[in-house]
Structure 1
């Protein structure tokens, strides 16, 4: 598992709203039985509006999605199978959104 890998949402109840989860957990914490994730939601479901600095727009698999930082969560590692890709190229935006959520800056 690599930081910023994107996984299909394994939760049947929420995957229609949040189709993917981004693994943001450091590789230094790979021994934990859970992974810290942020859901990706359809940009169109949010009126094509972002919360400046907190929910950056990302493009994944040709789709416009929002990184829903306020909904950060953890899931059991065993539920995350077969990454669909990576958002490593959005690393700065992801870290900035986390920083904004924690510090407000």
Structure 2
């Protein structure tokens, strides 16, 4: 099976374009359910006004029967959160200004989860 490895797509790195795999907390009103989102969009598309993000949900609110390959557990700030790839959506990148952390080291799991949503494998 071919696995993509994490790679930085930018030839000239600037703070604005390096959002790929960033974890941010864009919405105070949704923090109880989705405390964070992870930016999964390629930095090659940094000129767009939006970024594709996947929510990270509080594990207590996630159904127990979700396959772990589809919804892996991602630790962020001492919290175990569940990636919810089937709720991926574009967000205005102005909402994603403050990076909490980067989960570039978990990119292979996130890509596999997105592949499962898109192709069922």
Q: In the alignment, which residue of structure 1 is the partner of 2:82?
A: 66
**Contact 1:50/1:57 (<8 A) preserved:** no
Structure 1 stretches of at least 4 aligned residues deviating more than 3 Å after TM superposition: 47-50
How much has 1:13 moved relative to structure 2? Answer: 3.3
**Contact 1:39/1:72 (<8 A) preserved:** yes
Per-residue displacement from partner, 1:27-84 (whole Å, max 9, x unpaired)? Answer: 1000000000000001122255542321111111111100000100011011111100
- For 1:88 and 1:60, the matched residues in 2 are separated by 12
Match of 2:115 among 99, 102, 105: 99
Closer, same or farther in 2 for the Cα pair 1:59/1:89, shift >3 Å?
same
Output the aligned Cα RMSD.
Answer: 1.5
Match of 1:54 among 42, 48, 70: 70
- Mind listing any 5+ residue stretches in structure 1 that lack a counterpart? none
TM-score of the superposition, structure 1-length normalised? 0.90
- Between structure 1 and structure 2, the one with the greater Rg is 2
